């Protein structure tokens, strides 16, 4: 059975619930957007839920950040299709939604109040963008990627036998 994730910002202006088949916080993203907007330890952890089940309280306190991403090769800037939502009162990063994958929503584990299961191993991604002072704590069976991992969040959960029907 899917797990209901209950999330909130620090000041309480925004709270939300969403159903998740993939609640293991195993994916640590060190990209500049994640670590600056949601990653005090040098990374953010993205979960995944079913966007159709997302219920929001306090919607008018929600801010929207669409990052500009510069192409290293051409120098051209593009606005990311990822919509990063945060509380305008306290600044807590809450979730990411991308219209390219309309069925999904990616809450930040840091915003979740539900007790999450502990992942048996973790995936470290976007390591080429990590801050120089960050020493990733890489476990013996963890996977590491300079950019995106090969497996989606769904594929990883299914492969590990951790997908919740």
Residues that bind Zn ion (CB under 5 A): 9, 11, 13, 87, 89-90
Question: Is the Cβ of residue 9 or residue 126 nearer to Zn ion in the bound state?
Answer: 9
Lookup: tokens for 82: 């990822």
Q: How far apart are CA 137 and CA 134, in angstroms?
A: 9
Question: Is the Cβ of residue 91 or residue 102 nearer to Zn ion in the bound state?
Answer: 91
Question: Is the Cβ of residue 12 or residue 136 nearer to Zn ion in the bound state?
Answer: 12
R_g over Cα of the chain: 16
Q: How far is the CB of 13 from Zn ion (least distance, A)?
A: 4
Among 23, 42, 24, 41, smallest CA distance to 32 is for: 42
Q: How far is the CB of 61 from Zn ion (least distance, A)?
A: 6
Q: How far is the CB of 139 from Zn ion (least distance, A)?
A: 33
Helix, strand or coil, per DSSP, at residue 3: strand
DSSP result, 57-107? E-GGGEEEE--EEE-TTT--EEE-SEEEEEETTT--EEEEEETTSTTEEEE
Question: Is the Cβ of residue 11 or residue 134 nearer to Zn ion in the bound state?
Answer: 11
Q: How far is the CB of 16 from Zn ion (least distance, A)?
A: 12
């Amino acid at each position: 059975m899917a797990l209901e994730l209950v999330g909130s910002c620090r000041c309480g202006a925004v709270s939300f619930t969403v159903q998740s088949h993939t609640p293991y916080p195993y994916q640590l993203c060190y990209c500049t957007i994640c670590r600056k907007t949601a990653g005090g330890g040098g990374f953010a952890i993205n979960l995944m839920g079913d966007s159709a089940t997302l219920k929001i309280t306090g919607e008018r306190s929600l801010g929207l950040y669409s990052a500009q991403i510069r192409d290293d090769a051409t120098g051209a800037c593009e606005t990311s299709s990822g919509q990063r939502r945060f509380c305008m009162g306290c600044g807590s990063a809450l979730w990411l939604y991308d219209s390219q994958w309309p069925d999904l929503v990616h809450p930040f584990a840091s915003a979740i109040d539900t007790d999450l299961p502990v992942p048996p191993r973790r995936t470290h991604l976007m390591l080429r963008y990590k801050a120089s002072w960050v020493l990733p704590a890489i476990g013996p069976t963890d996977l590491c990627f300079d950019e995106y991992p090969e497996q989606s969040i769904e594929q990883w959960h299914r492969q590990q036998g951790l997908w919740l029907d």
